[in-house]
Amino acid sequence: MTVTQQRATPIGRPLGLSEAEVAKRRAQGLTNAVPFETSRTYKRIIFENTFTFINTALFAICIALAALGLYGDAVVTVSLVIGNVVVGIVQETRAKRKLDSIALLMRPTATVIREGEERTVDPNDIVLDDILVVRPGDQILVDGEVLDESGLSVDESLLTGESDLIRKRVGDTVHSGSFCMTGSGIFIARKVGTESMAQQITAEARAFRDVRTPLQREIRLVLQVMLVLVAALSIQVGIAFYQSPDDPGLREITQAAAVLVSLVPQGLVFMVTVTYAMAAVRMAGSGALIQRMNAVESTSNIDVLCLDKTGTLTTNTLVLDSLEPIGVDEEHLRTLLGDYAAATTAGNRTITAIAAACPGRERKVVGEIPFSSSRKWSALAFDDTEGRGFYVLGAPEMIQPALRSADGLQPRVDAWTERGLRVLLFAYRPNPAPLPDGKEEPSLPQGLIPMGLVALRDELRPEAQETIERFRQAGITLKIISGDNPDTVAALARQAGFPAGIRAVSGTVLGDLDEQALIPVVEEATVFGRITPRQKERLVSALRAQGHYVAMTGDGVNDVLALKRADLAIAMRSGSQVTRSVADIVLLNDSFAALPKAFLEGQRIRRGMRDIIRLFLVRTLYVALIIFGTSVAGAAFPITPKHNSILALLTVGIPVFALAAWARPGNTPRRLVRSGSHFVFPAAVSIAWVAFVVYMFYLSRGAEVITARSALTTITILCGLILIPFAQPPNDAFTGGTSLNGDWRPAILAAALLGVYAGVLAWPVAREFYGLEVLGFLDYVILAHIAIAWAVILRFAWRLHVLDRLRAAWRRVRGR
């Protein structure tokens, strides 16, 4: 029997394809085999973490150092590159394995009929023209045409976003990605593999997505600027060496080149990776799986969060809210509703909610009409002494025309509907009406008697109100984007704590707006209902075009396009495989209650990186200025690689790890580098000036170059250590460059590092290793007083906003 003959024959039990026909289609490539990508591939993870601009720049520096014969410095640099890559790959690989295990546990199977027998097969084993069977709870895995059905209703919410069940009849199309919820059906596979609807929608999800956070973009810009600065400074130093009356020698030139190359803040990149890893560790067990390293930091930039109703506000479960008996007492109404729910064979969320609230008994059922989204009602016929008759439950507007009397119903229905409740009417007729045989469309008999109204509500997540309030306090605007009716969603949002006056907009309205007219609607409205997948993507794009940093949560195939367009993509664990694979964060408990913690961790990252960036930039700039000043003055090169290494280690290398670990959540400016200029430039310029004067003073007094360099190293270390408590002020005495922190640990660390430097000077082996010379006791006293005086002057410069005043004066000059 051919497939065509099967379709034309009244179907009881089709034979399906033979093994020979299946083998032929496999040979032709007509299978449902598609790449089973449960998450990002290992290849993509390695590529994204390895081939970045920053790693490429650091690798080039490594080659330059090796060419100069500075193999130790080259090893340090390449170690930073390897560290960046390894930490990122390890973290994201752990997330991938977790997602893969989730996907394998949730991977569906298919029931096919081949040679007259039902067989369970993997989705990849389905071929074109296969005959498939679906029953309640089964996922439809290919597009097909219904050949036979018995009350078949499917949930297409993962494709369309609409939660209503769709009735399917013989000849209708079913789509991959939908689920059989009630009844059963047999269909023939018409589109398999990449031709199916779900695969067509998700095709764009396979495109490369690389979203860099503002912090990462700033770090990249800093490195680019520093590379240019090093190149310019190298030319200046080269000219100075060329014009020098004394031959500097190859060793001196090599050491100068090493110091110049080290001005590129290589450790800054590594610290970003370290802070990301620390945040991922702190997020462990919070219910959020971090799939991309930068995802936690990204949350701190969010100012608009787009949510779906299901999974965020609600648990996707209905509960009985109220009953309104009509002509009967409430106890009798509850009994009949419980019996009705217990006897219904095609269960759904409505029946489950009624059954949970109204216990039922076993009854003699002589007929049943399953619920249909087109009819919006279901019916049962009982024939026993407990309550013989025809009972119907459904939407009031669909049942009212068949009622004997509908007086007084509508006001109560309207009142409950305005509260966001789902209202059903329960009615009956004493004698069981003749029920259709399933092939003809059912209709209601006239003369039904209303027995009561049933109000159901979506069950709000227990943490929804608290979570929404926490986001509101953080200044994050929430937008609800749903496939459901906008008014219903808006009413539910109000129950969850949204303001009473929120504006709801339908997707049909958005479809008539051009890009310019869309902007004010997107900014002002809070709820968007009846939204298509393309409209979701358009909404996210419009918000981003207005300068917003947008996070999008989703669970279905219909959310994929919007997720890829968002700055931060968040998926539900129970969602489709493709949404989990494109997401930056996966909510393992299907609850966005984990997001506020991620938001705080993101703030912690940015606060820590704010201080780290400041210390790195101050050190880089004052070293560059010292080198520039001495080259212009014609003096010997002021810093050796070993002096530079101990300076970097004590004033930046060790402190930044502590600052990252001790950082606290809190608001930070969007642009960390620009906002830090108030701290960085006065500190860098003043340290450079003090160090230059000290260095030139020693040279002018006839001191050896090593003595002058040791004095310069000492004064820069003293100033650099004082900067640590300035970066995180423990009390008001250290404020000026930034706000009060109240944490004494950075100041204690600075004092400890000063002790380390004293130990290096006192220990001959360490002193010789770093190429330092012991100065006189009076020298150290004078240098200490200079450092203290510098700190006092710098504090006043910060408090007087000298840099801001100079900027304002420059603007006035340019404006003339």
Whole-number Cα distances in Å, 328 to 321, 343, 433, 448: 19, 21, 22, 15
Tokens coding 509? 């309205």
Q: How far is it, in rounded angstroms, from Cα 547 to Cα 529?
A: 24
List the one residue out of 189, 192, 193 whose CA is nearest residue 6. 189
Q: How far is it, in rounded angstroms, from Cα 569 to Cα 579?
A: 9
List the one residue out of 746, 737, 727, 754 whose CA is nearest residue 796. 737
Kindly tell me the number of DSSP H helices and DSSP E strands found in the chain: 32, 21
**Residues 682, 803: contact at Cβ < 8 Å?**
yes
* HEC letters along 485-513: CHHHHHHHHHHCCCCCCCCEEEHHHHCCC
DSSP 324-385: EESSS-HHHHHHHHHHHHHH-SS--HHHHHHHHHS------EEEEEEEETTTTEEEEEE-ST
Degrees to nearest 5, angle at CA 437 with 433 and 438: 115
Q: How far is it, in rounded angstroms, from Cα 169 to Cα 440?
A: 11
Q: How far is it, in rounded angstroms, from Cα 299 to Cα 594?
A: 11
Tokens coding 433? 């009406």
Sequence-distant (6+) residues with CB within 8 A of 638 are 626, 627, 630, 691, 695, 708, 709, 712
Sequence-distant (6+) residues with CB within 8 A of 620 are 226, 263, 264, 265
437 included as an active-site residue: no
Amino acid at 348: N
Q: How far is it, in rounded angstroms, from Cα 391 to Cα 332?
A: 14
Amino acid at 499: P
Instruction: Tell me how crowded residue 778 is: count the other CB atoms within 10 A of its CB.
Output: 8
> Which of 89-104 are b and which e, b meaning 16 or more Cβ less than 10 Å from the residue's Cβ?
bebbbebbebbbebbe
Per DSSP, helices labelled H in 244-322 are 249-262, 266-283, 295-299
Catalytic site residue from 129, 308, 339, 567: 308
Q: How far is it, in rounded angstroms, from Cα 775 to Cα 735?
A: 32
3-state helix, strand, coil in the chain (%, to 5): 55, 15, 30
Amino acid at 514: D
Q: How far is it, in rounded angstroms, from Cα 414 to Cα 572?
A: 34
* HEC letters along 634-700: CCCCCCCHHHHHHHHHHHHHHHHHHHHHHCCCCCCCCCHHHHCHHHHHHHHHHHHHHHHHHHHHHHH
C-alpha torsion sign, points 32, 36, 38, 40: negative
Q: How far is it, in rounded angstroms, from Cα 129 to Cα 191?
A: 9
**Residues 143, 174: contact at Cβ < 8 Å?**
yes
C-alpha torsion sign, points 178, 179, 180, 185: positive
Active site residue ranges: 308
